Structure 1
Amino acid sequence: MNNEYDQERFFEEYAKMSRSREGLSAAGEWHQLKPLFPSLLGKAVLDLGCGYGWHCKFAAEQGAVRVLGLDLSGKMIEEAKKRNAEKEIEYRVCGIEEYEYPEHMWDCVVSNLALHYIEHIENIFQKVHKTLKPGGVFIFNIEHPVFTAGVGQDWVYTEAGEPQYWPVDDYFLPGERSTHFLGCHVVKQHHTITQILMGLLNNGFELEAVEEAKPSEEMMHIPGMKDELRRPMMLLVKAKKK
């Protein structure tokens, strides 16, 4: 997994995003992701790719007694400790692929917009299943395969500069995609819907919810937001360990 988030320029641009400044309330997918969480009262929660720690803070506020936030970026972890420190939360610089995943440790594992950086996503599903307690829940938000499939991950524009259509190319060829995000070169991994959903089912999970993120009614009043209805950007999944 690459670590663009420790690059100074990238981190500075990321800090300007509304979700970075304002937290979960400014995350376009939160109105759909929040209802997927089970009761966290008295639970142990693992956050894979925790970023600024917003979901860790949410878990602590919901009554979780132990929360571990992992992120490969030291800059992200530093920011999480400053913004979202709670006595129940531990933050650790650690990649998703490097974590030890102790058996039957966690009641809930969450990952928000991090798994599209992982090449062998099925291996992570297997490890998450191992580390969840029986009946534990895995909730994640990943860039939608329609979004990651295109090489440029951008609209095709008219001569006037208006979005014309969203290109989907080489959809059935999973693997590395080099693109630009926040003005920087970023490497992501494209996974098909089949890889994601069957990867969960083949590793002992039971699917409880699959949603494609779209703007809330309130966000639809923001100028330019209607274009977001023309392309799926995020895929939200809730899976339970049998």
Structure 2
Amino acid sequence: MKQNKYDEAEFFDNYSKMARSVQGLDAAGEWHELQTLLPDLKDKRVLDLGCGFGWHCRYAREQQASSVIGVDLSENMLQRAREMTDDPQIQYKQLAIEDIDFAPGQFDVVISSLALHYIERLDTVYAKINDCLVEGGTFVLSSEHPIFTARAAQDWHYGPTGEILHWPVDDYHDEGKRVANFLNQDVVKYHRTLATHLNELIKAGFAIQKVAESKPSPEMIEQVPGMRDENRRPMFLMIAAVKV
């Protein structure tokens, strides 16, 4: 399923107002950890799948990547990315992640941030990513954590006065489609277990290098209201893998 909510005017307008949309990577609660999973990007050819506004594309060039291609299905996303980018070594392509068809060994590094939980068939996507990487190339991804995606509600359990009690987990092994509410609209996501995330990468020909489960930085805990509760459960899963 190739879902394109970001080209719906109201949804895109709400997304554009999010802190991470306005302030970029510094406002992304997981960035301080995801950044540590990235390899040295100097002189690397980089592909960003689900590039959105192009924050990771521009970061890669700041780290002296030789070239970057950002892929996104949304015309709105790519228009904003192009407006924010003044670099001939960054190209943006309107394309569904499922439809990528790059040449074998075209890239040294592939990044995908918070896009893969919208993809129904990870196995085919991972196979395509493996094929377009050089041997020894790195794939770094972030996705919504299985603890977060297990229930479609994706919300805390609250007490009688609205206080947060705990994060409920149910139907964990029932993988598949979830219709979640995001930015006040129904959005289709796909839940898969932690084991499935890792095993699909291994089956596609990757060796797992490092796994991280998001937690806010001490600075964000102090500066952003409600961020302290993000330590009570991981919202994002991050994986670094190498093509073998």
In structure 2, stretches of 5+ residues that fail to align are none
Q: Structure 1 residue 120 and structure 2 residue 121: aligned?
A: yes
Distance (whole Å) between structure 2 residues aligned to residue 102 and residue 191 of structure 1: 29
1:17-166 to structure 2, matched below 5 A, reads 17-166=18-167
- Give the length in aligned residue pairs: 242
Aligned letter for 1:37? L
Aligned letter for 1:30? W
Aligned letter for 2:138? V
By how many angstroms is 1:202 displaced? 1.5
- Tell me, yes or no, if the aligned pair for 1:172 and 1:192 is still in contact at 8 Å: yes
Distance (whole Å) between structure 2 residues aligned to residue 34 and residue 156 of structure 1: 31
- Tell me, yes or no, if the aligned pair for 1:52 and 1:84 is still in contact at 8 Å: no
Q: Structure 1 residue 234 and structure 2 residue 236: aligned?
A: yes
TM-score computed with the length of structure 2 as normaliser: 0.97
In structure 1, stretches of 5+ residues that fail to align are none
Percent identical across equivalent pairs? 47
Q: Secondary structure at the match of 1:28?
A: coil
Distance (whole Å) between structure 1 residues aligned to residue 205 and residue 180 of structure 2: 33
By how many angstroms is 1:40 displaced? 1.3
Give me the CA root mean square deviation.
0.9
Q: Structure 1 residue 182 and structure 2 residue 177: aligned?
A: no
- Tell me, yes or no, if the aligned pair for 2:148 and 2:235 is still in contact at 8 Å: yes
Q: Structure 1 residue 171 and structure 2 residue 154: aligned?
A: no
1:145-167 CA deviation, whole Å, 9 max, x = no partner? 01000121111211211112212
Aligned letter for 2:48? D
By how many angstroms is 1:101 displaced? 3.0
Distance (whole Å) between structure 1 residues aligned to residue 36 and residue 169 of structure 2: 30
Distance (whole Å) between structure 2 residues aligned to residue 227 and residue 31 of structure 1: 17
